[in-house]
């Protein structure tokens, strides 16, 4: 579903953020990307839907090359759901309109159809009664669940999560993870940048560990948690699992 091969990205000639990254996500797979901050994991996931450009290598999603200038990026992105660290709901639109906007403007659905779909998804994330509110009237956890619903409204073939719980208060993390776990169990293809190792243990098929712009480890979940091969991954795990 997602093929990433030999991707390199520089912010400036001397500052390389991604070095020869190669991995893939197959249909129905849940891949968790972890690593210390500044390791390039967010940058990598943003390269997948071309929100970040990269200088060399190839990424393709469902057979479409992301870095081909001829690719219709808006069309490709409409099939790739993305959830951001800071939710990025549109603050001037009601919750339901946040869900309807792209359905109508990008997919050309009628308002009624978009609204029906939007309400179904809000019900699914448990926020149906908040449809007429504005984003700022919701808690962080609720906003992030709306953001997930907004991405799902586009019927994506794959979902990208960029640290979906790191901006949340601790007590709101689980409500967002629950939605994501359900999604994973329904067979959604997911690439998730997160530090939530509990989530990784529960639903991930594979775990990718990144450090300083490189993919250091790319292993099935049980291997990763059982016996990480690299020192750096071991150190990272001991740090975040010791508490």
Kindly identify the residues of this chain, within the stretch 193-222, that bind another protein according to CB under 8 A.
none
Binding piece for another protein, criterion CB under 8 A, among 12-20, 103-111, 171-179, 219-227: 103-111
**Interstrand relation of 56-61 and 2-12 (parallel, antiparallel or unpaired):** antiparallel
**Interstrand relation of 30-34 and 64-65 (parallel, antiparallel or unpaired):** unpaired
CB of 76 to another protein, least distance (A): 8
| R_g over Cα of the chain | 18
Nearer to another protein, 118 or 228 (CB): 118
CB of 75 to another protein, least distance (A): 7
Q: Report yes or no: 190 and 158 within 8 Å, Cβ to Cβ.
A: yes
**Interstrand relation of 190-193 and 15-25 (parallel, antiparallel or unpaired):** unpaired
Q: Does residue number 130 form part of the binding site for another protein (CB under 8 A)?
A: no
Q: Does residue number 101 form part of the binding site for another protein (CB under 8 A)?
A: yes
Residue 6, classed as helix, strand or coil, is: strand
Given candidates 63, 74, 108, 170, which one binds another protein under the rule CB under 8 A? 74
For the chain, strand residue ranges (E) read 2-12, 15-25, 30-34, 56-61, 64-65, 80-83, 158-162, 190-193, 206-211, 214-220
Q: Does residue number 63 form part of the binding site for another protein (CB under 8 A)?
A: no
Q: Does residue number 11 form part of the binding site for another protein (CB under 8 A)?
A: no
- Among 152, 96, 155, which Cα is nearest to 127's? 96
Backbone φ and ψ of 2, nearest 5°: -115, 125
Binding piece for another protein, criterion CB under 8 A, among 13-21, 84-92, 189-197, 215-223: 84-92
Q: Does residue number 188 form part of the binding site for another protein (CB under 8 A)?
A: no
Kindly identify the residues of this chain, within the stretch 150-179, that bind another protein according to CB under 8 A.
150-151, 154
CB of 136 to another protein, least distance (A): 5
Q: Does residue number 25 form part of the binding site for another protein (CB under 8 A)?
A: no
Burial of residue 143 (CB within 10 Å: 0-12, 13-18, 19+) is buried
Q: Does residue number 111 form part of the binding site for another protein (CB under 8 A)?
A: no
Residues interacting with another protein, by CB under 8 A?
A: 49, 51, 73-75, 77-82, 84, 86, 88-92, 101-102, 105-107, 134, 136-137, 150-151, 154
């Amino acid at each position: 579903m997602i093929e990433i091969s030999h991707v390199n990205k520089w912010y400036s000639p001397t500052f390389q953020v991604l070095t020869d990254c190669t991995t893939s996500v197959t249909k129905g797979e849940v891949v968790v990307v972890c690593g210390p901050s500044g390791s390039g994991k967010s940058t990598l996931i943003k390269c997948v839907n071309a929100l970040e450009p990269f200088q060399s290598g190839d990424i393709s999603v469902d057979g479409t090359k992301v870095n081909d200038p001829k690719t219709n990026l808006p069309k490709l992105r409409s099939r790739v759901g993305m959830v951001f660290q800071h939710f990025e709901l549109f603050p001037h639109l009601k919750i339901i309109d946040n869900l309807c906007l792209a359905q109508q403007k990008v997919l050309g659905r009628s308002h009624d159809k978009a609204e029906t779909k939007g309400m179904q998804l809000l019900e699914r994330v448990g926020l149906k009664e908040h449809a007429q509110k504005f984003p700022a009237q919701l808690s962080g956890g609720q906003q992030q669940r709306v953001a997930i619903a907004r991405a799902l409204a586009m019927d994506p073939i794959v979902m990208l999560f960029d640290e979906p719980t790191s901006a949340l208060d601790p007590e709101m993390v689980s409500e967002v993870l629950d939605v994501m776990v359900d999604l994973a169990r329904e067979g959604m293809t997911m690439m998730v940048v997160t530090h939530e190792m509990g989530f990784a243990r529960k639903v991930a098929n594979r775990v990718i560990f990144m450090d300083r712009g490189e993919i250091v480890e790319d292993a099935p979940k049980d291997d990763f948690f059982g016996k990480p091969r690299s020192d750096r991954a071991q150190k990272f795990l001991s740090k975040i699992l010791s508490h």
